Structure 1
Amino acid sequence: MKDDAGRYGFIRVARALALARGDVPEARAMLEAHYGDRCAELVFLERAIINVGAIDNPDDVALAGIAENFLALVGEYSIIDRIDEVMPDTFHRVVPYRPVLTGGATTAAWIPEAMIIPMGEAGFEIERIPAKKVAGLLVVTEELARVFAPRADRILGGELARALADEVTRTFLSDDAPSNASPGGIFYGASEIAGTGDIGQDVVNLLAEFTGDLESAVLVCSPLAGAAFAKAGEDEAGALGGYVLGIPFVTSTHMAGSVIGLVDVGQVILAEDGVGLDTSTHASVTASASGTGPATLVSLWQSNLVGVRAIQYINWALNPAAEGAAVFVDDAAAIVGALGKPTAQPAQPKAKRA
């Protein structure tokens, strides 16, 4: 396990800067008092603080150099990183906004001396994948922010990281349509096969419908479905993932209990551009007492609150030429048959691309 400075150094620096109202010497003194004059947090502070003059950053402070520490914490909860663990270097990663060739395949062939190299399938398109933003805002009392203790670090840092990861995971595993703000779900427009009532046969039928590359494929399902695989006799499967018919699979509570998906990860174009962290005690935020009632404007300064904002820049899309690279089945009867219990979870992939 990483040391606390590596895992939560970002939240410690962010908190010190917020409490110091952006005064770097004061923040440095605060960190020295709590963690010593040779602490890693001071190193983070020296390389992390830049004056940005951003309109939406009233304290005129941004955290740049420690963003990778926060991103690693987000990754502990994100489905993207969990897939990366079982299928390393398989996502088709690209640089945001740079031209990307889609639709064609990189090929190789034996050629005689002085002959041209054949291109193979010539059909391809040039696209640009922009980075989209998912944002999280953590607002706490100044009293809690002043608690420099490991438990407070885990509460503040872990809560913000988990919020971002949950939204990324929920969206990725959905069938939501893409929009100007969101990448949409990886199962948007995917083929749905009919359930058979038998979880093993469902996977066989998924394989029959799947046209992607099985060497870069992964199954995704809920922990409940993972447990059903184990009950059905898949010795390497369980609620936390494993293998089904030799295919790696990952589980997430953001996948509906009765849905099993199969995705060619190599056909998922993924653009990541890091994360931005800001702190403020002077901003105003909108809040609702019930979460659904009328929103009111709350001044952080007047309410003795501290805000930490995180924005992750990420986007993804299934290769438009890779039809059949994502398929799914929704078969509650199969889960009930294996486990003998209902699948009381929110519905997931259903809609088809118009």
Structure 2
Amino acid sequence: MDTMPDGDATIDYGARIVTMIERRSVVGLVNAIHAFYRIGALEPILTASPNAVAQWVAEGAQKPVVNGPTLDALRVPARKVTVTVPYSVEFLRLTHARVDLAVNADMTHALRVAEDSAFCDAAPGDAARPASIFYEHVITGTGDPQTDFAALIARIPEEYLADVVLLLNAADCVALLTAGLADNQTLSVASGGLVAGLPAVVSGGVPRGAIGWCVPRLIALVDEGSRITSSDEATLEMTDGTLVSLWESDLAALRGERWIAWAPLANNVAGMMTGVLASNLAPTKRAKA
């Protein structure tokens, strides 16, 4: 990266950030297995209550008609997640591939962590972020992995099983292996795999000890991409409240913005059970020296 990205360079830089996020984010990992229902921001989509029933009818016999479904128009606005990081101007102007990789990794990690957390944390939405797909669809397990996993699967409508993707915390893979729900030939901490024959993805956004599931084709996804902008003249208010003048400090700030949102198209298309797996059966974090 010869200079700070601006103009067309910011578009290209933003596209690279999107690509990196899609490869590692929980949304991208799930979508690679079963695609979400992609729509444009605020594009109206029609949802209907699932009470239509088909029946066999003899030739000439009266054709039964059920009560009409309740139709609703759903519009999903794009929500923005952003990160602003100041770097020294000298650092950004270094002509070295490692500088580019470092900035990419820094921005991508921050945006991906925020996106994964919002998708998986079971929290309600607000003016800034969408609700988690698991909001109001969380139950508590007994701590017996075999029993809890069977109970979790039993809650999934049978017609959805072929389209289900499981979501796990990567650190819980050891507990899954210990419980006999997977083996090291089919489940990887790095890339997920299969759990009891169902595809699974791993993400740090999933609460420890929990197992989630979703049916992507019944979840609307708005993804309007990302943008990277830069400035070396602004004054930034840091998270600790201090003000920093970029020009006076010989700094430049890169701001990454990503527009993404999701919304279930039906009531029972995602769920999560907490307390399924023992959180102590996992690699421990290395203590700081």
TM-score of the aligned structures, taking structure 2 as reference length: 0.84
Q: Is residue 204 from structure 1 mapped to residue 150 from structure 2 by the alignment?
A: yes
Q: Which residue of 2 is the match for residue 100 of structure 1?
A: 45
- Once the 2 structures are TM-superposed, how far is the Cα of residue 343 of structure 1 from its aligned partner? 9.8
For 1:94 and 1:318, locate their aligned partners in 2 and report how far apart those are by CA, in whole Å: 12
Which of 254, 261, 268 is equivalent to 1:324? Answer: 268
Q: Which residue of 1 is the match for residue 242 of structure 2?
A: 296
CA 1:323/1:344 → structure 2, altered by over 3 Å: closer, same or farther?
A: farther
Matches within 5 A, 1:25-174: 48=8, 63-87=10-34, 90-104=35-49, 122-174=69-121
Q: Which residue of 2 is the match for residue 255 of structure 1?
A: 206
- Once the 2 structures are TM-superposed, how far is the Cα of residue 186 of structure 1 from its aligned partner? 1.5
- Once the 2 structures are TM-superposed, how far is the Cα of residue 258 of structure 1 from its aligned partner? 0.9
Structure 2: state its 5+ residue gaps: none
- Once the 2 structures are TM-superposed, how far is the Cα of residue 123 of structure 1 from its aligned partner? 2.2
For 2:235 and 2:66, locate their aligned partners in 1 and report how far apart those are by CA, in whole Å: 57
Matches within 5 A, 1:1-12: 12=1
For 2:79 and 2:91, locate their aligned partners in 1 and report how far apart those are by CA, in whole Å: 32
Q: Is residue 16 from structure 1 mapped to residue 3 from structure 2 by the alignment?
A: yes
CA 1:344/1:261 → structure 2, altered by over 3 Å: closer, same or farther?
A: farther
Point out which structure has higher relative CO (alpha carbons under 8 A, 6+ apart). Answer: 2
Q: Which residue of 1 is the match for residue 123 of structure 2?
A: 176
Structure 1: state its 5+ residue gaps: 1-11, 23-44, 50-62, 346-354
Which of 245, 248, 251 is equivalent to 1:305? Answer: 251
Could you list the per-position Cα deviations for residues 128-172 of structure 1 after superposition, in whole angstroms to 9, with x for gaps in the alignment?
111110011121011111212111111111101111011000110
Aligned amino acid, residue 335 of structure 1? A
Aligned amino acid, residue 126 of structure 2? S
Q: Percent identity?
A: 24
- Are the equivalent residues in 1 in contact too, given 2:4–2:93 (CA < 8 A)? no
- Are the equivalent residues in 2 in contact too, given 1:209–1:324 (CA < 8 A)? no
- Are the equivalent residues in 2 in contact too, given 1:137–1:308 (CA < 8 A)? yes
CA 1:196/1:74 → structure 2, altered by over 3 Å: closer, same or farther?
A: same
- Are the equivalent residues in 2 in contact too, given 1:191–1:324 (CA < 8 A)? no
- Are the equivalent residues in 2 in contact too, given 1:273–1:314 (CA < 8 A)? yes
Q: Which residue of 2 is the match for residue 276 of structure 1?
A: 227
Could you list the per-position Cα deviations for residues 64-114 of structure 1 after superposition, in whole angstroms to 9, with x for gaps in the alignment?
355322210222331111112222xx2111111111112356x998999xx
CA 1:97/1:324 → structure 2, altered by over 3 Å: closer, same or farther?
A: closer
Classify the secondary structure of the residue corresponding to 2:278: helix
- Once the 2 structures are TM-superposed, how far is the Cα of residue 344 of structure 1 from its aligned partner? 8.7
Aligned amino acid, residue 239 of structure 1? V
CA 1:119/1:82 → structure 2, altered by over 3 Å: closer, same or farther?
A: farther
Could you list the per-position Cα deviations for residues 3-62 of structure 1 after superposition, in whole angstroms to 9, with x for gaps in the alignment?
xxxxxxxxx3xx6146xxx6xxxxxxxxxxxxxxxxxxxxxx7xx16xxxxxxxxxxxxx
CA 1:296/1:274 → structure 2, altered by over 3 Å: closer, same or farther?
A: same
For 2:108 and 2:141, locate their aligned partners in 1 and report how far apart those are by CA, in whole Å: 36
CA 1:178/1:150 → structure 2, altered by over 3 Å: closer, same or farther?
A: same
CA 1:252/1:278 → structure 2, altered by over 3 Å: closer, same or farther?
A: same
CA 1:65/1:120 → structure 2, altered by over 3 Å: closer, same or farther?
A: farther
Q: Which residue of 2 is the match for residue 237 of structure 1?
A: 187
CA 1:342/1:67 → structure 2, altered by over 3 Å: closer, same or farther?
A: closer
Aligned amino acid, residue 97 of structure 1? L
CA RMSD of aligned residues (A): 3.0
- Once the 2 structures are TM-superposed, how far is the Cα of residue 121 of structure 1 from its aligned partner? 6.0
Classify the secondary structure of the residue corresponding to 1:213: helix
For 2:152 and 2:85, locate their aligned partners in 1 and report how far apart those are by CA, in whole Å: 41
Classify the secondary structure of the residue corresponding to 2:260: strand
CA 1:120/1:165 → structure 2, altered by over 3 Å: closer, same or farther?
A: farther
Aligned residues: 274
For 1:122 and 1:201, locate their aligned partners in 2 and report how far apart those are by CA, in whole Å: 36
TM-score of the aligned structures, taking structure 1 as reference length: 0.69
Q: Which residue of 1 is the match for residue 278 of structure 2?
A: 335
